[in-house]
Structure 1
Amino acid sequence: MEPLPSMEELFLLTLDELEEHLPYLVSDRYGSHALRALLITLSGRPLKQVGNKSLLQSKRKEYITVDGASGLSGEFASEVRAVPESFAVAVQKIITDSTVGLDATALRVLAKHPTGNPTLQLLLELEFEISAKAKKSAPKKKKKKGEEEEQEALQDQAESLLEKLVPGAPASFSDEKSPAAEFVNSMMYDVVGSRLLETLITHCPGKIFKGLLANFFAPRIHSLLRNDIASYPAIRVLQRLSKEDLADAVEKSLPHIADFVQKGRFNVIKTFFERCHVRQATPSLNSLLQALTSALGNDYKHFIPKLCLLEDKSPTDDDKKKSFQPDEVKNKAALLNHGSQLVSALLDIPGSPSKAIQTSIASLSSAQLLKLATESAVTSAILVKAFSTPSQNPNFHKVLIASLLPHTHELAMNQHSSLVINAIIAAPSKGEGISVPFHAKENMMSQLERHERELRESWVGRSVWRAWKGDMWSHRRHDWVRWAKETDPEAARVAAAPKPRVKGEGKEEGKHRAIGKETKKVAAVAAA
């Protein structure tokens, strides 16, 4: 009986079957998904990586689970997998065979193809990974002559795709009429092609990036960031800038912060703040905050209402009947998403940025807080983060929970705001910078108990009831109090605990009391 082939052999045999059809599969509507899945498997990249989601899954992706499957399968899918060495050769072969018959013009057409572009992104990214691994392992290992020749051939082939896209780079970038410069300029403002340019900027070697920065992005970074399409490649550039280059980009963009706010480029502003915080560019960070405050009305109180669209009036029934415009709905959802992400990013930066957001949250009315908690997942995440972020104002969390307390039941029954309710019980009652009064937690739990039946009828309500340990509150109140105070710091819990009486201490107190009584009696007799 012949032995069955191993999984390694089966994957390689699959590649042999697809080899002659690779150029066709790159741009095929259905075949491209199979090709991308095969590339991800052979490369050993995590299957559930965020960057792979759009490459492997369609918008109508079905989430199918298998009964009895191991619970650790999700953890394995998010880790880098060890693959045989033959898979690296197979990946390089796919890259070469997929683009072997494509010239510069065909590659440019493929880069703007809705189906071919994601596959080309993956091929280019894997090419950079193979090149980086080859450079790291070259000086460490002494290989045999045959392996050295094979590796050199692979390196030559790995450079072919990048060389086809931007021939002669980075030296050719300085010539505006060169194919490399024309390719970058043509991809910059294309809806589909700009995504390939993002991949190139994110993963290219340093010398290529410096050429792109000097010739295309640095001189006009402020104008590119204002464009609907070119802003995304420009954001990728900001994420790789050094401290000095980032400060220069901030200085050029400061006069245009108001334009960014007006056009809804909140993701651009968020990237500026995050990168300045990472690079520890404090002067640039303060200048950005000052410019953003000026653009939002010269008051910290306007941050949340304007960035999270709380000032917009909800459409009436008559407005809904007049017309249905899905583009406007999508644009508003994108603005709300980007604005909320900017607020969350500012909360993560200690100092003036987080103080500005906390001041704005504290100034919101009860109705605005309710809308912020229930409108969407990104807006409720702001309040969740607010309860886990230290504040310089000791009354910040007290004011926040006082505004939410009357709406406890309504918040607990909503999918988004239920996370805010769960964040309250997880916050310490006496902590450094975070303080949610314990009596407020008890009042909130009392309101949840009044609506226990309604909470149990909803899966969201059951989740809140479990998070707050409602059954323990109903039957073992002392245990609930002890559990609720476990989130407090150790020093605060020790100080609040009753002190044990030392042996003999009670007798000494009794003696002192007896002596005191006798002294009072003697004084009374003497007075009589």
Structure 2
Amino acid sequence: MPKELRKRGRRAEKQSKEADGRDGPPTKKRRTEEPQQSFAVNGDAGDDLITFGQDYGNEDQDDQQITFYGLLTEEEQEYYANVNNKISVNDFENEEDRAIFIEAVHQESNGKEIKVASSQSSSRYLETIIRLSTAKQLRSLFLAFLQDLNYLVQHRFGSHCCETLFLESAKHVDIKSKSTEDGNTSFENLFLEAATKLQANIGFLLTERFASHTIRVLLLVLSGQPLQDAAAKETVGSRKKEKPGLLHHAEADSTEVRKVPHSFKRARRDLVVAAVSGLDTNYLRALATSPTGNPVLQLLLRLELSEDAKDGQNDHIVLQKLIPDQNFEPESDSSKFVSSLVYDSTGAYLIQTLVRNLPGKSFKKMYRNLFRDRIGKLAKNEMASYVAISIFERVGKDDLAHAVEELVQELPGLLERNRLAVVRTLVERSAVREVDLLPIREVLAQTYGSDPKVRLQKMLKLEGLESSVSEGGEEKGKERLPVDLQGSLLAQSMLRTSQLCEFVQETLLAQSDSILFQLAKSPIASRIIQVALTSERSSSKFLRQIVPVFNNMVLDLATDVSGSHVVDALWNATNGSHFMKERIAKALQSSETKLRDSMYGRTVWKNWHMDLYQRKHREWQAIAKGLDQEPTQENDSRPRKSAIELARERYMQKQPKNNQNKATGANTVKANA
């Protein structure tokens, strides 16, 4: 009898286990200290799982097993793969054709929505379909997910579908809607029902591996905060989550604060109270160092502190339990707790959230009692430096000036160890608060040297660049420079300040043409040249010296992915120096064929209005000198009025109204004709 075909090795065994649990991980049983008691742990939760003090399920759910919804057949998987391919290539005649196709997909998925969301491959396709669905289709899918929402939010693949469904459905929430919309359940009631279903297990779900992200999205939707801003992405989204690059045109509208019904705020508050009310301070603080619990605390604190303080329901439940003593006395437990998290790789994120969102009085007490006298030590530490950056962004002018005095002695060490993010933030905030930057300039001159020719190379970690370029010749010049990103960002920030811009401008002027050519073609270093050409701090004297350097290399830069942006910046840099702009335009015209054959060259040709330069040179000169508005795509094709026509219009406007439009001779028309 033939043996079953099997693969040997640990990898094959691991793959087979993953394949068995692909469409729904099996329920695991973990024994506690008492052999008679056990509770179910779903997914890949380990022994280091920290929850909000609640087990999954209630007393009635101890013996409840997770429902298995089955697997998709090969024909069904192939169907959804073909659907995804058709959507990806946008194989539709018009928008109506695509809408009909999406409706057909929803009808095909009727009754097996949960099974599709639990599939490893088809769940990705379902996310794409959700983004293209109408409000009616989203409502139908929402109702299907509510049948077993607790299962889906904990599923490895179904949780992502729930996140996408919540985000898309949030766009259709209307604060003026009634309990039903056209006989159907409103999105307001759908979200409230989802919150009610998840509230019983909220303590476990907030720190569960997969459900945590979905619950955070739901809390964000209920709060009315923006869904796509930077703070939301940091505390809600997962870094490992796949970002499908399809149809994100509607996400730009989600950066604004949304108006939500009052019932949403009550539902969010009920969820928070259900999760936190039964916990003591020590247990809640333990979540601050948990990789899963820390983002939860960040979101809860940010939503809680962002609410209007005049709202009678805003009691700062989480903040009061996490930090009972907000006076931050040096020997208090709250001060010790905050000080211990500053140097923790996970807890530092929570301190950053407190620094950014604490009320003004509480922040001033925390800063003066805990951070003011040790700001230099914080800036030197790898993790605490991020807290120092958040402090620089919040403090006022006097405290920022004190921080500059404290950090002057530490700046040489920070520059040598390439901790330039702290220095860059200090420079930017000092420029905003109008703090004296001369002490920082002296330290920069001592660290990077007095020779302006070598100064920029040290900032960008390119020591010995000139000798390597001269020895390597053309082949070496084609390679991209390994430029340090933090050094480039620091140089850009210095160019935007009045006291430090000359420090970078001098080193740019001291570079040879070959070095500037290499810097202009670098994706990172070219940003320095762009800022130097377009910054408001750049004087006309500096621009008259730096612009002619690029005259001989403008053609090679125009066809380069990074150099083309430098050529675009030369348009604004030559404002007020028309002869320089004419010279560059003439050089571009001489290589029209080369530019039109390049994708980046065509962009440069368009930004420099070269078609107008060739056909209507006077109008191009008017635009170049700022005497006329730049033509748009609509009126560019319209015929321009000649000088004699414009003169006739001015003449007619000066004539009395009773004599206007009265022709003579053969052009006379009788009134009754």
The C-alpha deviation readout for 1:51-77, integer Å capped at 9, x for no partner, is 2233344445424444xx9x6x45522
Distance 1:120 1:448 in 2: 57
Distance 1:32 1:48 in 2: 18
Shift of 1:488: 9.3
Distance 1:82 1:478 in 2: 52
User: With CA pairs under 8 Å and 6+ residues apart, which has the higher RCO, 1 or 2?
Assistant: 1
| Structure 1 counterpart of 2:548, one-letter code | A
Does residue 333 of structure 2 align to residue 167 of structure 1? no
Shift of 1:459: 3.1
Match of 1:484 in 2: 624
Query: For the structure 1 residues 278 and 392, does the alpha-carbon distance in structure 2 shift closer, same or farther, using more than 3 Å as the test?
Result: closer
Q: What number of residue pairs does the alignment pair up? A: 435
1:185 to 339, 352, 359: 339
Alignment of 1:9-158 (within 5 A): 9-59=189-239, 60-66=241-247, 73-130=250-307, 133-135=308-310, 151=312, 154-156=313-315, 158=316
**Would you say the 8 A contact 1:343–1:357 is kept in 2?**
yes
**Would you say the 8 A contact 1:47–1:77 is kept in 2?**
yes
Query: For the structure 1 residues 26 and 398, does the alpha-carbon distance in structure 2 shift closer, same or farther, using more than 3 Å as the test?
Result: same
Distance 1:217 1:260 in 2: 18
Alignment of 1:258-407 (within 5 A): 258-282=412-436, 285-298=437-450, 302-311=454-463, 336-350=484-498, 352-377=499-524, 379-390=525-536, 394-407=540-553
**Would you say the 8 A contact 1:44–1:83 is kept in 2?**
yes
**Would you say the 8 A contact 1:310–1:372 is kept in 2?**
no
2:349 to 176, 190, 195: 195
Distance 1:56 1:312 in 2: 45
SS at match of 2:206: helix
Shift of 1:312: 6.3
Distance 2:221 2:492 in 1: 35
Shift of 1:313: 5.4
Overall identity of the aligned pairs, in % = 32
**Would you say the 8 A contact 2:288–2:347 is kept in 1?**
yes
Shift of 1:293: 1.9
Gap runs ≥5 in structure 1: 138-150, 317-331, 431-436, 490-528
Shift of 1:192: 1.5
**Would you say the 8 A contact 1:44–1:80 is kept in 2?**
yes
Shift of 1:413: 2.4
TM-score, length-normalised on structure 2? 0.59
SS at match of 2:409: helix
TM-score, length-normalised on structure 1? 0.74
Shift of 1:483: 2.7
Gap runs ≥5 in structure 2: 1-179, 469-481, 630-673
Query: For the structure 1 residues 408 and 210, does the alpha-carbon distance in structure 2 shift closer, same or farther, using more than 3 Å as the test?
Result: same
Distance 1:472 1:259 in 2: 54
The C-alpha deviation readout for 1:487-522, integer Å capped at 9, x for no partner, is 799xxxxxxxxxxxxxxxxxxxxxxxxxxxxxxxxx
Shift of 1:174: 1.8
Shift of 1:393: 5.1
More helix by share: 1
**Would you say the 8 A contact 1:429–1:488 is kept in 2?**
no
Match of 2:153 in 1: none
The C-alpha deviation readout for 1:424-456, integer Å capped at 9, x for no partner, is 1234531xxxxxx33333333344344444433
**Would you say the 8 A contact 1:428–1:487 is kept in 2?**
no
| Structure 1 counterpart of 2:550, one-letter code | L
**Would you say the 8 A contact 1:428–1:488 is kept in 2?**
no
Distance 2:449 2:367 in 1: 34
Alignment of 1:249-264 (within 5 A): 249-264=403-418
SS at match of 1:155: coil
Alignment of 1:188-267 (within 5 A): 188-267=342-421
Query: For the structure 1 residues 369 and 237, does the alpha-carbon distance in structure 2 shift closer, same or farther, using more than 3 Å as the test?
Result: same
Distance 2:627 2:202 in 1: 57
SS at match of 2:326: coil
Distance 1:166 1:187 in 2: 13
| Structure 1 counterpart of 2:366, one-letter code | L
Moved more, 1-10 or 117-126: 1-10
**Would you say the 8 A contact 2:224–2:260 is kept in 1?**
yes
SS at match of 1:98: helix
Shift of 1:113: 2.4
Match of 2:188 in 1: 8
SS at match of 1:425: helix
Shift of 1:469: 2.3
Query: For the structure 1 residues 462 and 119, does the alpha-carbon distance in structure 2 shift closer, same or farther, using more than 3 Å as the test?
Result: farther
| Structure 1 counterpart of 2:342, one-letter code | M
SS at match of 1:343: helix
Match of 1:462 in 2: 602
Match of 1:319 in 2: none
**Would you say the 8 A contact 1:344–1:385 is kept in 2?**
yes
Shift of 1:302: 4.9
The C-alpha deviation readout for 1:251-271, integer Å capped at 9, x for no partner, is 222112111111112121122
Query: For the structure 1 residues 429 and 169, does the alpha-carbon distance in structure 2 shift closer, same or farther, using more than 3 Å as the test?
Result: closer
SS at match of 1:414: coil
SS at match of 2:290: coil
Query: For the structure 1 residues 155 and 52, does the alpha-carbon distance in structure 2 shift closer, same or farther, using more than 3 Å as the test?
Result: closer
Does residue 595 of structure 2 align to residue 439 of structure 1? no
Query: For the structure 1 residues 17 and 226, does the alpha-carbon distance in structure 2 shift closer, same or farther, using more than 3 Å as the test?
Result: same
